[in-house]
Chains A and B, each alone.
Chain A
Amino acid sequence: MSGVAIPLLLTLKVAFTATLAALVAGVAAGWLLARTRFPGREALDAVLLLPMVLPPTVIGYYLLVVLGTHGAIGAWLDTTFGVRLVFSWQGAAIAAAVVAFPLVFKAARTAFESVDPNLEKAGRSLGYAEWRVLARITLPLAWRGIAAGAMLAFARATGEFGATLMIAGNIPGRTQTLSIAIYEAVQAGDDALANSLVVLASITCIVLLVAAAAIVRRGHLRIVPV
């Protein structure tokens, strides 16, 4: 089973890292677009949603241009820290994070917009500083939508193929995630391996979707008791 376990563990590591990054960036961007007004807001919204509509290979190409050893950020990382993202699991995680980001961002924006601004004003009139309004009013009320978005992002990151292949390649044990391993098993005619990988990937996705649905059905999260 080790032929199955290694790509699965790598996939989970990549997907968890990617989801965490997409969650932080998506919640921040979602809050910004939901609660502030500035020129070009809707244009920024469209740009941030681009990774959802662009072909993953296009995103992978952009990432190579920026993060590759000759890219603007890639060259700087290489010379300053000796870090190379190309052909590394971190590169795969960045690719998955970019592709999954719009799912968290969209869900977070909708969730923040559904919180009545008067509830936040009520908090301010009760003496709450802005961080307290966010922590005790806005986030607890928007939490469910954000969590559902994060679940979808995790599922999307788990299945990432195109952009990951472009930037991280297909190195067994290092960057070969489940979906890439399946592709290679089929190419090599190893039907038994392909079958077990496909079943594993399907079960992982079904479990995630059921968990996401359960979280959405549940009541509001109470982060801290009064």
Chain B
Amino acid sequence: MRFDVDIRKRVTAAGRVFDLDVAFCADSERLALFGPSGAGKSLTLQILAGLVAPDEGFVRVDGRTWFDSKRRIDVPARARRIGYVFQDYALFPHRTVEQNVAAALVSPILGRLHGAARREVGDLLEALALARLSDSYPAQLSGGERQRVALGRALARRPSALMLDEPFSALDAPLRSRVRAELLALHERFAVPYVLITHDAEDLATCADAVVTLAGGRVVAQAAVAADAPASSSSATRGQSVGSRA
């Protein structure tokens, strides 16, 4: 999946101004946005997904323009076919596990689930080991289970890419390595590229084939990740292209 991104966004929160100015090109099926907290990773990912509009710039993915301030293009999030997994999962608290996973597939007005979609939800619940929890509510689940529900909900709409905001940070260490393996398995099984956010260098070696490093709202490094080697982040100039799969 090819990303061509050049965006600027100013956000003011509690009287503090944060300026995001991010540009990168990457051709990657498993892209990581890496950096310390407060670097602008979440904001960048939400802009890619269309959940936040940048002030100016462009976002192009696989040759399609999702946002371009000069050409006044802003494809709404609902049309970008992104499966977004929030850091706190953002599961619908008033809906069961099954209803959460089915959320993208239910009919718009009555919220019903029809034949093929019902089977699809069943398969997803099975694949994510959630079948026995299908009538539970998010508040009754453990952290790992909640994450699987969030993944299932995102995968159900057959996204062209998954976007995961700190998918491992809320999990304890033993669970973390298991969930990494699960994510890679889902990546293979559903043949879905992903972009993930992390501040943990260990994630880069196992889960990413290319890395964009952010700090203070800027891209400070870009690199491809060599197989089975720790991330070698070479300092690169803005806008330089990296890729592991041409």
Contact = CB atoms under 8 A, between A and B. Distances in A.
Interface of A: 116, 118-119, 121-129, 132, 136-137, 140-141, 220, 222, 224-226
- Looking at chain B's contact residues, the main secondary structure is loop
Interface stretch (B32-40, B65-73, B84-92): B84-92
11 contacts: A118-B90, A119-B90, A122-B86, A124-B51, A125-B82, A126-B157, A127-B79, A127-B157, A129-B78, A220-B94, A226-B99
Contacts of B94: 140-141, 220, 222
B214 to A, nearest CB: 20
Interface in B81-120: 81-84, 86, 88, 90-96, 98-99, 102-104, 106, 108-113
Nearest to B78: A127
Which has the most chain B C-beta neighbours within 10 Å: A119, A126, A137, A225?
A: A126
Q: Is the interface on chain B under 10, 10 to 19, 20 to 34, or 35 or more residues?
A: 35 or more
A119 B106 CA distance: 17
Interface of B: 46, 49-51, 76-84, 86, 88, 90-96, 98-99, 102-104, 106, 108-113, 153-154, 157
A220 B93 contact: yes
Given A226-B99, A226-B111, A226-B113, A125 B51 contact: yes
Contacts of B111: 136, 224-226
Nearest to B98: A226
B241 to A, nearest CB: 27
A14 B104 CA distance: 43
Contacts of B80: 125
